Every structure is written in structure tokens, then in C-alpha cells.
Amino acid sequence: MSLTVYKRGEIYHVRGTVAGRVIRETTGTALKEVAEQIAHRIEAREWKRSLDGPQAVLRFSDASAAYRKAGKPTRFLDRIEDYWKETLVKDITAGGIKQSAIELYPNAGPATRNRQVIVPTQAIINHCAELELCPLIRVKRFKVETKEKTPVTWAWVLAFAAANKPQISALAMFMFLTGARISEALS
């Protein structure tokens, strides 16, 4: 074995070179036997990576860590990371991502599932694809029905003004005639 197990404080660590890559990791355990088993696993993973390419060993947790390290938005990542955990990215399919959205948000609508699961999961995987660690993934979103909004007419503004206080009426008329937003009108 080209990795050396050594104790640092109470925890064992490994260091060495495998397939031309320098490895320095913690095993997270205080038991030497367990640390040696972890070192063997790390070495096997690195040889597999060397022979089969980085996609052979890229876990979703590693992909997510790279995404976070790049300073990308992390708003909805916690639930997604808990769902996929140590799953290999090469084993994640578009159908699997859609199924995860249904399982994570069973009572949510399609827009929520798209926004909170499909888009961030695809972004994490495609970020790693840009780093040439895995292939790109495309996921068809859930169909979202958009409601057509009817714009306010001058007749509606006049009816609104007649039913409200003069200050509110003036504000509504000002916003309608200038196109100002509420914050702009209040300023």
C-alpha cells in the first residue's frame, strides 16, 4: 500500500501518492484497524479514478462540495444533498432527479419542484461537467401552467379611487399613469 496511516491527535490520517495523485485525508476515526480499512478504500477509489476516469468515483457529495466552493447559490441544496448523499453522479439519471423532486416535495406544485430540486441538482452536476469530471445532464422540467394576468384599466382605477380614501386613490392613479412601482411611488 502506498498510503501511510498515521495518528494526529486522537484521529488517524492517511497520506501518500496513488496513481500520481497526492493524498492527504483524515479517516475520521481513532481506531487504527478502521483507519487502515479506510486507507485501502481510498487507494482503491484513486486507482479506479486513474483507470476509469474521474466520473467513475465522483459522488454527489463531492460534486456539491465543488459547487459550494465555487461560490454558487446554495439556497435549496441542503435537502438535495441529504437525498443523494454518497450516490455516484454517473448513477443519477434525469428520471431519478424528477423522482427525487416528487419524494422531497410530495405536496408541492410543479413550479416548486422545478425551482427547489431539478434546477439546483442539474446545476451541481453540470458545474462538475464544466470541470470535466462527469458528462452533462439534461432534465425535462415539470409542466407549469401559467395564469394569464389581465391588466388594470382606467375604469378599474376610477372605481378603486371612488371606493377608497383620497391618499390611496391618488397613489393608485399616480402608479397607473406613470408606471411607477410601489416603492418608487412611496418615495
pLDDT tens figures, 135-174: 899 999 999 988 888 899 999 999 999 999 999 999 999 9
H or E, element range at 26: strand 21-26
pLDDT at 49 over 70: no
Q: Could you tell me the pTM of the whole model?
A: 0.60
Q: What percent of the chain has pLDDT over 90?
A: 53
Given a cut of 70, whether residue 51 has pLDDT beyond it is: no
Q: Is 90 exceeded by the pLDDT of residue 41?
A: no
Mean pLDDT of the region 131-136: 86
Give the strands of the sheet with 21-26, arranged side by side.
Answer: 3-8, 11-18, 21-26
